[in-house]
Amino acid sequence: MTDAKAAAESVFRQQAGRIIATLIRISGSFDLAEEALQDALASALARWPETGIPDNPAAWITTAAHRKLIDSVRRDKTRREKQEPLRYETPTSYQTDEAALDASSMNYPDDRLRLIFTCCHPAINTEAQVALTLRTLGGLTTTEIARAFLVPEPTLAQRLVRAKNKILQARIPYEVPPLHAIQERLKSVQAVIYLIFNEGYAATAGDTLIRKELCADAIRLTRTLCDLLPRDAECLGLLALMLLHDSRRGARVSPEGELVTLEEQDRSLWDRTEIEQGLTLVDTALRLQDLGPYQVQAAIAALHAHAASFDQTEWAEIAALYQQLANISPSAVIALNHAAAIAMAEGPERGLVLIDQLGATNQLTEYHLFHAARADLLRRLNRNPEAAEAYTRALGLTRNPVEQNFLKRRLSQLS
């Protein structure tokens, strides 16, 4: 049972977004798709201990979920008109070799892109767009999303229900819109893809710091977006940014599962192929002369990639780029990053002044990285009691155990 459960959980963690996007395309319903996937997973847990884990567990679950959809349609007279489309779209492999159903036959990338554009329709408010995409495509639980956005779980659940109802009532088509209509949704689509990547890069909850399947999904989706819009500078910048960040993934966690800071990372573990791809994309995007925030962030990541060591990083240039980013897209988090870069370029005293000025605005009071950054500068200044207080505050705000253990280690080092 343990192996079967692990296999089913692995499929859900790594493939749920792909599978559910296809199920929504076929059924036209978020709720039916989610119910079918859950039923298929339950069937897998019941059958696999007896029959053995199939060669292609994801294909098995996808097939089972499609069958659940058909059964649901047959039982529900109000959805009788969908029965023929379902039969039409059901691959013949359902009746023959289920293991032959692989990712390529399901056209997953297009389905996921359709899902994102549907979730990011302008008729749906921004908060609901992000929440619905993370819930369906990112595979995050309602609890995880609520924690990430610092809102009560019931509020988040209501937001999801309203978004689904809006799609149904407004008859929002499940499609990538025509090229002339893409622009009105493009910024939202880019934002939610980047949020999916960030949740994979630094998970808000769970036993690991990194959810590599979410990072990989976000990168694949952005590649598809770049294929669709090859001269969109921000799409290219977003892809470059994610590749440059992802290149450091192998060095961010030690073999023992501990967080490794940028300063302490073994740069020989960085993925040079991703770095080269990212650097090329940055150059291509900037030559289009349509500067946007993702390109600036990618340029910052490129400077980190170029540096042979933490000490040899061009911190003054990075600080200048953060200032440029703040001019284009101001936010408290960008101001925090700017202050941290200033601390590296001009000294921790100057950086701490900027961070304390930002703290006086109370915009980042509940953001654990604000307190962690402040604690780090206090530690560098040997103001250990104040550093311990800031680390303790950060520890109380993070839900990821890997980050919690890192902060605990910092606290123990101070004492």
Q: Which residues have CB under 8 Å from 336's CB, separation 6+?
A: 355, 358, 364, 367, 369, 370, 373
| Per-residue pLDDT reduced to its tens digit, 87-123 | 444 443 333 233 333 333 334 456 888 888 888 888 8
Estimate the crossing angle of helix 233-246 against helix 272-287, to 10 degrees: 160
Quick one: which of 255, 293, 113 has its CA closest to 189?
Answer: 113
pLDDT in tens, 27-72: 888 888 888 998 999 999 999 998 899 989 988 998 999 888 888 7
Interval 250-294: pLDDT, tens = 999 999 999 999 999 999 999 999 999 999 999 999 999 999 999
Q: What is the pLDDT of residues 178-222, one digit of tens each?
A: 877 888 889 989 988 998 898 888 876 666 778 888 898 889 889
CA–CA distance, 385 with 363 (Å, rounded to integer): 24
Tally the C-alpha atoms within 13 A of residue 322's C-alpha that lie toward its C-beta: 22
